[in-house]
Structure 1
Amino acid sequence: MSNLPLYRDPWARRDAWRKHPVFSRTTVLRNMFPGLGIAIVAFTGYVIVDNVFLSAKKSEENHH
C-alpha cells in the first residue's frame, strides 16, 4: 500500500497559492502602507528637534 491518503483532493494543486507566504495576513498588512515606519520615525525626530532645540532658542529671545 502506498503512503497516499485514502481521500485526495483533486483541487489541492489549484488552491495551493492561497497558502503561499506572500498572501499571509501579516505580509499583506506590512505592505499595505509602504514607508509608514520611516515616516513615523522622521516625524518623531522632527517633533523632538522642534520641541527641544527651537523652544530653547525662543526662550532665549524672550529674555532680552
Structure 2
Amino acid sequence: MSNLPLFRDPWAKRNAWRQSSVFQPRVMFRNIFPGFGIAVVAFSAYVLADNLIFSSQHNERQHH
C-alpha cells in the first residue's frame, strides 16, 4: 500500500500558491509603496541641500 492518505485533496496543488511567502500579510503590507523609502531619503537630501547651499546665496543677494 502507498503512504498517501485515503482522502486527499485533488485541488491542493492548485491552491499551493496561497501558502507562498509572497502572499503573507506582512510582506504584502511592506510592499504597498515600493520605493517610498528611497524617495523620502532623496527628498530629504534635496531639501537639506536647498536650505544649506542656496540659502547662503540668497542671503548674499539680499544684502547688496
TM-score normalised by the chain length of structure 1: 0.65
Root mean square deviation of aligned Cα: 2.4
* 1:52 counterpart SS class: helix
1:19 is displaced (CA, Å) by: 3.9
Shift of 1:16: 5.3
Question: Take 2:63 and 2:27, find their aligned partners in 1: how far apart are those partners?
Answer: 54
Deviates more, 1:45-54 or 1:24-33: 24-33
Partner of 2:40: 40
Distance 2:42 2:20 in 1: 33
After TM superposition, the score normalised by the length of structure 2 is 0.65
The percent of aligned pairs where both chains have the same amino acid is 45
Structure 1 residue runs without a partner (length 5+): 1-9
**How far 1:20 moved relative to its partner?**
2.8
